[in-house]
Amino acid sequence: MGNNLKFYRPTSGQWSKYLIIIILILGIVFRLVNFDKKVYWIDEAYTSLRISGYTKAEIIQEIDGRQINVKDLQKYQRPNDNKDVGDTIQGLALHEPQHSPLYFLMAHFWAKLFGYSVTVMRSLPALISLLTLPCIYWLCLELFESPLTGWIAIALLCVSPFHVLYAQEARQYSLWTVTTLLSSIALLRAMRLSTLMSWVIYAITVSLNLYSYLLSGLVFIGHGIYVICIEKFRFSKQVVRYGLASLFGIIAFLPWLRLVIENGIELGDWADKETPLGKLITRWLINLSSVFFDIQIGYNNPLFDVRSGRDLKFNYDHFLIYFDILILIIVGYSIYFLCRHSQQRVWLFILTMIAVVGMFPIAQDLILGGQRSSMARYFIPCYLGIQLAVAYLLAKKINPLNGRFIV
């Protein structure tokens, strides 16, 4: 009888599934714990100011140099009876029109319902960020028709220090990530189905994405380049449908776009500060590495600070230099592998996603001067494209039948 006893041994494919499930659970936990352990920094304080409906000028006028306590200050950090959602929109429109209003409206009503503590304010973007996981899986199905690639992309997104960081920040960047993925899914689906409703859905996602973040315009420029190239520069029905859907999406955004044009965009003095090219390149590598690994571990001070201009100096014997270069090589090889082994409709979509959004802030700094490209959050669609390329590489290199790497 003892000889007939059998023990269950999971196959290598099952082990892969278990590993992905564990990573998925960890990714959810990372996003939903320790909301109150990090400092509520200046950008998040501006979020609270905007949802209160007050402006910076009104605070200065009311305080008028007098000493106030914490309770008095909290009046300007939460929704109140003196201000309403219209004041939130007006404050954004006059002073920060570069920040589209959708997230701030959501945060205003969220704070009204659940309070204005640090935990509550950060829980909204954290919950929104959970939507990125099914969205990137769906995008992988549309692009690669491969569930395995989708699960690997979810795993990369789950444990990405960059995405976890912005998932717990009371700003609009997790919302921008979700709407960028949704608009990409909607475009691919519309091109595949080519129905009126599918293009209407794409037009809606165009508007939602623009109302989430102004730089979404670059995403749709990339989409336009993709559609035109796929249609071989012909004035085809697909090009016309894309153009009309984008036009209707932009028309819906015109009320806010008018405010942006009238009031201008102010990024602060730090944006135009002259920065040596070598320092910019180092920052680009640090930001790229943070998508996959938190190289800030072990350092009490930031690796660089755009406001003070102080950067950690790296010598050639510093391990971070070589770690950053290794990440760059992996990313470069992933893009090469993608272009060589996937269909044109796949690699072209990801390349436009990476290049159009990625090159804009870099070109601005190289031509006009400044350090806008030091801010990793401007590259979110670019980083999503990079993660898709790496996910494709891993899915193709791992044979799901025996768990071994294939050449």
Q: What percent of the chain has pLDDT over 90?
A: 60
d(CA 311, CA 282): 9
Res 377: pLDDT: 94
d(CA 26, CA 13): 20
d(CA 163, CA 290): 9
Closest CA to 92 of 82, 107, 80: 107
Whether the per-residue pLDDT at 286 is higher than 50: the answer is yes
| 53 touches 88 (CB < 8 A) | yes
Res 308: pLDDT: 73
Res 77: pLDDT: 85
Q: Where do we find the tokens 């050639």?
A: 316
Average pLDDT of the segment spanning 363-375: 91
Structure confidence by residue, pLDDT tens digits, 7-60: 445 555 566 677 778 888 888 898 998 888 888 988 998 999 999 888 888 887
Q: Which residues contact 82 (CB under 8 A, 6 or more apart)?
A: 53
Grouping H, G, I as helix, E, B as strand and the rest as coil, residue 39 is: coil
Average pLDDT of the segment spanning 296-313: 72
Count CB-CB contacts under 10 A for residue 193: 12
- Model pTM score: 0.91
Q: How confident is the model at residue 317 (pLDDT cuts 50, 70, 90)?
A: low
d(CA 98, CA 264): 8
Structure confidence by residue, pLDDT tens digits, 209-241: 999 999 999 999 999 999 999 999 999 999 999
Give the angle subtended at the CA of 313 by the CAs of 375 and 41, to the nearest 5°. 40
Residues across the chain: 407
Average pLDDT of the segment spanning 125-140: 96
Cα torsion at 22, 23, 29, 34 (round to 10°)?
130
Res 81: pLDDT: 79
Closest CA to 191 of 148, 147, 145, 245: 245
Q: Which residues pair with 398 in a beta bridge?
A: 405
Q: How confident is the model at residue 1 (pLDDT cuts 50, 70, 90)?
A: very low
Average pLDDT of the segment spanning 290-318: 74
Res 13: pLDDT: 55
Higher-confidence position of 335 and 45 = 335
Q: Where do we find the tokens 């009238």?
A: 262
User: Is the sign of the CA dihedral 205, 372, 228, 143 positive or negative?
Assistant: negative
Average pLDDT of the segment spanning 103-132: 95
**What would you report as the CA-atom Rg of the chain, rounded to the nearest whole angstrom?**
23
| 203 touches 190 (CB < 8 A) | no
